[in-house]
Amino acid sequence: MRIGELARAVGVGISTVRFYERRGLLEPSGRSGGNYRSYDDESVRRLRFIRRAQELGFTLGEIEQFLALPSVTDLDQHAVIDLVAGKLDEIDGRIRDLNRLRSALSTLAATGANRERCPVVAALADPPTGRGG
């Protein structure tokens, strides 16, 4: 498939595909006779992974590290473990914050807005719990 078909299949713009190519996150699987980039099903899978990982808060640098995992050497193992541990801490903090927000939304849904302070504002006005908090 050509670049436009790949972009449509994943729901991104052609410029996004080109950006990921420049970053080294995605490569065409080959070239057509007319020298157009061509992509295969693996390209679709990889691009979907990149987009989904970004939606979930991974940086492009972190995504690069995960995409490199099949070729990780023994020397890289500590870096991978640190990356995963840091991301787990970040996710745990987000889960705590989302649970706090969920509780506030449930309170608002059950009791209405007849309160001194909106519970959603109260939940989001406090600083994030972050790592280990």
Give this prediction's pTM: 0.67
Question: Quick one: tokens of 107?
Answer: 């309170």
Determine the pLDDT at residue 118. 74
Phi, psi of 2 (to 5 degrees): -85, 175
- Cβ neighbours, 10 Å, residue 97: 18
Q: Output the CA angle 85-87-15, nearest 5 degrees.
A: 140
Taking the C-alpha atoms of residue 86 and residue 21, their distance in angstroms, rounded to an integer, is 27
pLDDT digit string (tens) for the chain, length 133 residues: 999 999 999 999 999 999 999 999 999 888 888 888 899 999 999 999 999 999 888 889 889 888 877 666 665 677 778 888 888 998 899 899 999 989 888 887 777 666 677 777 777 777 766 555 4
Judge contact between 17 and 7, C-beta under 8 A: yes
Judge contact between 91 and 53, C-beta under 8 A: no
Determine the pLDDT at residue 70. 67
- Exposed, middle or buried: residue 10 (CB in 10 Å: 0-12, 13-18, 19+)? buried
Q: Which uninterrupted H or E stretch holds 37?
A: strand 37-38
